[in-house]
Amino acid sequence: MSSTTVTKKRKSDSTAASAAKKAKLDARVQVVTSILSDATGFELPAGDASTRALILQLVQYARDLEQEVAALKPKAKSPQELAAAADKLANAARSGIRKQLTWKPTAKSGTARWLYDGVCNDPEVFGAMLNLGGPPTFKAKKMPKEEFENLIGDLDVAIRYDTLRINSDVNISWKPADGTFKFSGTYGK
């Protein structure tokens, strides 16, 4: 016979602390809402201590909002983290581009088109991938195919009796508002 031991998990104190913090925040939101609902006629509390408490609630609410906004900003990456993220993005782009280099009748004449759409929410990473020395300052740019392959990696794809390769400059489009980018060009034998 096997016996199983059941252990009770101890409740975390963090849930109680977060509930208390939420209650304080809700009280501050109610104060702000009541002031904003009657901006010209709201009543100030009687006495210095009550007025100080009201001002303190408003200041703490403002500080909480500042901290929430600061938490939304991405923290700066170290050079190693930036290089690792740029390599990961370059590998994904290289893989996506190579998958598009397939045999078509237009590849024989070197006019087959490819287009890679990607997303990179951090402009620093995109700039590091393209060796720009910072975030991109352009919306559209052309890059020579040799320079692009040096940055992204080898894009040649072996087919049955030949090799397909990029044969034009690479068009780079960057939209900083939503962090999307496009690489496009032509390829052939």
Q: Per-residue DSSP letters for the chain?
A: -------PPPPPHHHHHHHHHHHHHHHHHHHHHHHHHTTTTPPPPSSHHHHHHHHHHHHHHHHHHHHHHHHHSPPPPPHHHHHHHHHHHHHHHHHHHHHH----HHHHHT-EEEEEEEE-S-HHHHHHHTT-SSS---SEEEE-HHHHHHHH----EE-SSSEEEE-SPEEEEEETTTTEEEEEEEEE-
What are the residues whose beta carbons fall under 8 Å from the beta carbon of 100, sequence distance 6 or more? 114, 115, 116
Give the pLDDT score at 171. 92
Among residues 49, 72, 95, the one where a domain terminates is: 72
Do 59 and 85 belong together in one domain? no
- The pLDDT of residue 133 is 81
Residues 127 and 161 in one domain: yes
- 91 and 184 housed in the same domain: yes
Range of the domain at 133: 79-188
Residue 142: per-residue pLDDT = 92
Report if pTM > 0.85: no
My answer on whether 46 and 118 are in the same domain is no
CA distance linking residue 145 with residue 124, whole number of Å: 22
Residue 29 lies in a domain: yes
pLDDT of residue 100: 86
Same structural domain for residues 63 and 131? no
**Residue (of 83, 93, 88, 91) closest to 170 by Cα position:** 93
53 and 86 in a single domain? The answer is no
Residue 153 lies in a domain: yes
Q: Are residues 102 and 158 in the same domain?
A: yes
First to last CA, the chain: 71
86 and 68, same structural domain?
no
Do 94 and 157 fall into the same domain? yes
Over the chain (189 residues), the average pLDDT of each successive run of 10 is 55 61 70 74 78 82 82 75 88 88 85 88 86 84 89 83 86 87 88
